[in-house]
């Protein structure tokens, strides 16, 4: 059944407002310093996706959730975990506020970072609420910022290694937020379907740069795109917090199910470095 045009307009307006308000992926805001963590063998760093924002029961100041992927992975493997990730964190903020707190016993570090540095929220707002020209200009601006990420990632990895030389470092990617094919089948306006594809394309570019930067810095990169395929908005089985509730600041963050089935399940299949975990890992 074809949705009423006013319903589509309301949905589009709500989505754009949330993007423009900086509520998507924690792309804006300054993270507060988290409390000193307990010693652990596994440490999570980064932005809102690593903090678990959107998973439920988020706690200030960093909007960490006990249902983030780090908690799921630690529980599945019997690991002590220190979650230092913070909503809104940039690469520089991770280096300054989180890296110094990494427990010396850490042997594995996972993190999501980079989305805030390229202004991905502004790109999404431009592409979902603006004209094609506005979208193209926003994408060009983000691409210019992307060029700076490899050097920043190298410096961040070096900082981490200075703190915990023996730790394995894994950068986790970002998923597609939208399902253009589903939107087309639901008869969303063609321009909105095209904008959704552009937003997903921007995520792919960010992930590609993160992968290259991580690998060149001596770290690893793990993509979650395949795991989330078919589970973006507006899939009937979406793993993302929907954008239509103005009282929920975590629109388009993974739900608890998304963190478990998308991030933690993907990480569980990654080949870790056995010599680092003798007597510690599974």
- The ranges assigned to domains in the chain are 25-118+148-183+208-268
Two tokens at 41?
Answer: 């063998």
* Banded pLDDT at 70 (limits 50, 70, 90): very high
Residue 225 has pLDDT above 70, yes or no: yes
Neighbour tally for 242: CB within 10 Å: 16
pLDDT of residue 21: 40
Contact 35, 64 (CB under 8 A): no
pLDDT of residue 36: 55
pLDDT of residue 22: 41
Contact 19, 129 (CB under 8 A): yes
The Cα 270–Cα 263 span in angstroms is 11
Neighbour tally for 172: CB within 10 Å: 28
Chain mean pLDDT for the chain: 84
pLDDT: which is higher, 79 or 3: 79
For residues 278-282, give the mean pLDDT. Answer: 48
For residues 207-218, give the mean pLDDT. Answer: 94
pLDDT: which is higher, 243 or 67: 67
Percent of the chain with pLDDT over 70: 82
Contact 118, 149 (CB under 8 A): yes
pLDDT of residue 95: 97
For residues 32-61, give the mean pLDDT. Answer: 83
Nearest to 270 by CA among 159, 164, 177, 169: 169
Residue 213 has pLDDT above 80, yes or no: yes
pLDDT: which is higher, 137 or 1: 137
Contacts of 7 (CB under 8 A, 6+ apart): none
* Banded pLDDT at 20 (limits 50, 70, 90): very low
User: Tens digits of per-residue pLDDT, 96-148?
Assistant: 999 999 999 899 999 999 999 988 767 777 777 777 888 888 888 888 889 89
Contacts of 281 (CB under 8 A, 6+ apart): 77, 79, 272, 274
* Banded pLDDT at 1 (limits 50, 70, 90): very low
* Banded pLDDT at 282 (limits 50, 70, 90): very low
pLDDT of residue 10: 42
For residues 55-60, give the mean pLDDT. Answer: 96
Q: What is the CATH number of domain 25-118+148-183+208-268?
A: 3.40.50.1110
Residue 32 has pLDDT above 60, yes or no: no
Residue 59 has pLDDT above 50, yes or no: yes
């Amino acid at each position: 059944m074809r949705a009423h045009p006013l319903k589509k307009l309301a949905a589009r307006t709500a989505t754009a407002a949330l993007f423009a308000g900086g509520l998507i992926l924690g792309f804006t805001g300054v993270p507060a310093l988290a409390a000193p963590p307990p010693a652990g063998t596994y440490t999570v760093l980064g932005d809102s996706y690593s903090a678990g924002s959107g998973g439920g029961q988020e706690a200030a100041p960093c909007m960490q959730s006990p249902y983030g992927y780090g908690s799921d992975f630690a529980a599945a493997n019997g690991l002590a975990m220190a979650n230092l990730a913070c909503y809104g964190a940039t690469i520089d903020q991770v280096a300054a506020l989180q890296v110094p707190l990494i427990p010396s016993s850490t042997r594995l570090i996972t993190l999501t970072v980079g989305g805030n540095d390229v202004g991905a929220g502004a790109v999404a707002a431009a592409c979902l609420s603006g004209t094609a020209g506005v979208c193209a200009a926003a994408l060009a601006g983000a691409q210019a910022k992307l060029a700076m990420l490899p050097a920043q990632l190298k410096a961040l990895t070096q900082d981490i290694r200075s703190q915990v030389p023996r730790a394995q470092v894994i950068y986790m990617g970002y998923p597609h937020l939208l399902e253009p094919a589903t939107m087309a089948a639901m008869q969303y306006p063609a321009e909105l379907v095209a904008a959704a594809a552009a937003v997903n394309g921007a995520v792919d570019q960010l992930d590609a740069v993160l992968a290259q930067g991580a690998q060149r810095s001596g770290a690893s990169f793990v993509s979650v795109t395949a795991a989330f395929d078919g589970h973006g908005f507006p899939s009937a089985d979406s793993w993302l917090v929907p954008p239509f509730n103005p009282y929920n600041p975590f629109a388009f963050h993974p739900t608890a199910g998304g963190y478990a089935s998308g991030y933690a399940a993907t990480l569980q299949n990654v080949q870790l470095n056995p010599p680092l975990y003798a007597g510690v890992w599974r």
